[in-house]
Chain A
Amino acid sequence: MRLNSQLLAAAILCATLIGSAAAAEADKNTLSQHTPDGQPNVEGFWLTVVYGMGCLQNPTAGVGCVEAGEEPGRGAPGKPRPKPPKAASRIVDPPDGEIPYQPWARTKQQYLLSNYFEPTKPEFIDPQQLCLPLGPVRQLTWHDVHILQYPGYVIFEHEGGHVFRIIPLDGRPHIGSSLKLWMGDSRGHWEGNTLVVDVANNNAKGRLSRAGDFADDALHVTEHFEFLDATHMRYRAVFDDPSAYTRPWTFGFDMKRAIFGESNPTKDDTHYEQWEEACYEGMKPVDYSLRSERGGETK
């Protein structure tokens, strides 16, 4: 009897240890932690799985979705670079993977694209080249984002150009509709492990890619940050702008817990610090009137 008791105790102990180990492993892979104010704890550094913003349909290709090494306006370089693998379109709806531009908007997008490398007007310059905020969605495709959680808030601190977004979770109304911001005005709430963010007040001056893709300032974005586990997140942003598109469409991609420059997801980024990335400093006013006025460089 005593032997049986010892065996039973050992079995229980063993089962407990195995269970603890399994639970510990599960903790690494599931969102088991919450912040003191009850948010799922997703704090850390996140990075898009497929890096690149040349175009949305094939993010790893060059501007205008041409393959790398065949950039329009510059001609193929003497030694073409190796072609990166084709990535999934970031336009996950509609099914054809194209932005449903209205005719005038498609014309404008093509116009901006065709003038990307040889700008003859200042407005052809992608604001990203001037270190301006990229807008709430494209900013997520550039370097990593440090998600910080404070009581009542989620903060996105983007490494690219130290641009930030403050997302209140208290249900307050948006600011006045005539106020337009580069990063828009964000309001968020949690639905389980999904952070839902409503972004209004977009000035829409930032482009969506380097291929001339854009929105108008009637843009309203609804974002879903679905945290699948401790290291993976699925991002979807519905673009609703009846002045530019024929229907709402969805910009989406997956993100992983990772630091820019490191390819593998990281489960422990607690000691990493985001250091200063001053971008605008040193910028000089550039005479982009320029190519048409500089004689020999005119097309």
Chain B
Amino acid sequence: MRRIILSLILIAPAFGQIPRTSDGKPDLSGIWQALNTANLDLQDHVAQKGAPAGQSVVEGNQIPYQPWALAKKKENYANRATLDPESKCYLPGVPRVTYIGLPFQIFERGDLVTILYEHAHANRFIYTNGTEHPKGPIDWWMGDSRGHWDGDTLVVDNVHFNDQTWFDHAGDFHSEDLHVIERYTLLDADHINYQVTIEDPKVFTRPWNLSMVLYRHVEKNFQLLEYECYGFDLEQYYP
């Protein structure tokens, strides 16, 4: 009996560390942001003018491109200043929207997790009501998201992408067969372990993973603003 009580005492603080919804699920509600340079380059990269150095968020630091795809990635890299879809301010796709550098807000309840992003007012509806992906093919910028809980981890399955987005500014790319599996796990009240599996048999030789920590904004009254990300000189239009 004493051992059980001791165990409960040891477990209780850990159990109480993460917020939970009324139905007992981890509560991801809040404003979050990645604090890294993955948007510049998912892999290890040295500093360049206007682009700080950063450590890889890719497991093993290797993206397993097929030979033709590696050549294309290198070509993309050489021309990234003009070819990166971000420079045109298009919707950035998944998972790039998570680490593109701006905050996003998660709203959670049992049947639907909504994520609203400051970047280009992007939005995602992650249906957690047991529904399946709509029948494809569909070429959406942000894909179709269906989620479920695996223990305390929100697992989000994403399909129906177009082939127009990049994973970063370094030219890492995919085809319309992209399949993204995200895992959101609260480490404590203010940190999410964000793990992603990328599958695309047209481009890669095998699935590969990336991971990073997402940080909660705890500043009083912090909120999303707008980043309309004008793809052309709009200020001259509407001074």
Contacts between chains A and B (CB distance < 8 A), count: 84
Q: Mark each residue of chain B from 79 to 111: 1 if its CB lies under 8 Å from any CB of chain A, else 0.
A: 000000000111100000000000001011100
Residue ID in chain A nearest B141 by CB atoms: A278
- Asked if B225 CB lies within 8 Å of chain A CBs, one says yes
Query: 8 Å CB contacts to B: which residues of A273-299?
Result: 273-276, 278, 280-281, 283-285, 288
Q: Which residues of B contact A153 (CB under 8 A)?
A: 107
Query: 8 Å CB contacts to A: which residues of B121-157?
Result: 121-123, 125, 127, 134, 140-142
Check if B91 sits within 8 Å of A181, measured CB to CB: no
Instruction: Give Cα distance in the complex from A155 to B107, angstroms.
Output: 10
Check if B232 sits within 8 Å of A285, measured CB to CB: yes
A148-B107, A179-B225, A278-B141 known; A162 and B122 CB under 8 Å? yes
A166-B224, A273-B127 known; A150 and B109 CB under 8 Å? yes
Check if B238 sits within 8 Å of A164, measured CB to CB: no
Check if B231 sits within 8 Å of A166, measured CB to CB: no
Q: Mark each residue of chain A from 265 to 278: 1 if its CB lies under 8 Å from any CB of chain B, else 0.
A: 00000000111101
Instruction: Give Cα distance in the complex from A172 to B223, angstroms.
Output: 11
Instruction: Give Cα distance in the complex from A182 to B141, angstroms.
Output: 23
A162-B121, A182-B226 known; A173 and B231 CB under 8 Å? no
- Asked if A66 CB lies within 8 Å of chain B CBs, one says no
Most chain A beta-carbon contacts within 10 A, residue among B91, B125, B127, B228: B228
Q: Which residues of B contact A133 (CB under 8 A)?
A: 121, 226, 228
Most chain B beta-carbon contacts within 10 A, residue among A127, A161, A278, A288: A278
Could you say which interface size class chain A belongs to? 35 or more
- Pick the contact of B120 from A130, A183, A276, A280 — CB < 8 Å? A280
Q: Which residues of A contact B238 (CB under 8 A)?
A: 123, 127, 205
The distance from the CB of B75 to the nearest CB of chain A, in whole angstroms, is 23
Instruction: Give Cα distance in the complex from A132 to B112, angstroms.
Output: 27
Q: Which residues of B contact A216 (CB under 8 A)?
A: none
Check if B221 sits within 8 Å of A150, measured CB to CB: no
A122-B237, A274-B125, A285-B231 known; A166 and B120 CB under 8 Å? no
Query: 8 Å CB contacts to B: which residues of A132-160?
Result: 132-133, 148, 150-151, 153, 155, 157
Q: Which residues of A contact B29 (CB under 8 A)?
A: 150-151
Check if A283 sits within 8 Å of B116, measured CB to CB: no
Would you give 17 A-B contacts (Cβ < 8 Å), ordered by A?
Answer: A123-B238, A125-B237, A127-B237, A148-B112, A150-B29, A153-B107, A162-B122, A166-B223, A173-B221, A175-B225, A274-B125, A280-B89, A280-B120, A281-B141, A281-B164, A284-B232, A285-B232
A148-B114, A157-B123, A281-B91 given; 10 more Cβ-contact pairs under 8 Å: A127-B237, A130-B237, A155-B114, A166-B223, A175-B223, A181-B225, A182-B226, A274-B125, A281-B88, A281-B141
**Which residues of B line the A interface, CB within 8 A?**
22, 29, 88-91, 105, 107-109, 112, 114, 116, 120-123, 125, 127, 134, 140-142, 164, 221, 223-226, 228, 231-234, 236-239
